[in-house]
Amino acid sequence: MKILRSGHKYELANFEQDLHELNQQLQFIEKIPVAEGSTELKTVNDGTTNEEVLSVLIDRMQFLQSMFPCRENAIVITKLEECLMWLEKRTADRKARGVEGKQIK
């Protein structure tokens, strides 16, 4: 993994990479304040979210667990689902407070 822009853009190595092949890039959504001092945010680079990446990982681990079941896979699935639950709770809490999509703690 190579950090291209911390927090937003990464280059991921292919597992069985040919030296002439490009790595894959992972772009997270990037937002900045619409104006200095504003709490409103605008998207400057579209991309994915932590929740979406976790959902992909959960699906992959469930697939692997169906093919090669083991205790470790089951634990990983549980922990990934827990991570996703906490992120979804954070979003729900921010929506309830009316601060989702704003730069407010």
- 32: which DSSP letter? E
pTM recorded for the entire structure: 0.86
41 and 53, same domain (yes or no): no
Q: Return the closest-CA partner of residue 48 out of 87, 78, 90.
A: 87
Q: What is the domain range of residue 13? A: 1-48
pLDDT one-digit tens code per residue, 29-57: 999 888 888 888 999 999 999 999 999 99
Domain count, the chain: 2
CA 27, CA 21: separation in Å to the nearest integer? 19
11 lies in the same domain as 40: yes
- pLDDT at site 14: 87
Q: pLDDT at position 58, please?
A: 98
The answer as to whether 2 is a domain residue is: yes
**Helical (H) or strand (E) element with 27:** strand 24-27
- Are residues 41 and 62 located together in one domain of the fold? no
2 and 26, same domain (yes or no) = yes
Same domain flag for 42 and 57: no
- The answer to whether residues 44 and 72 belong to one domain is no
Q: Are 41 and 31 in contact (CB under 8 A)?
A: yes
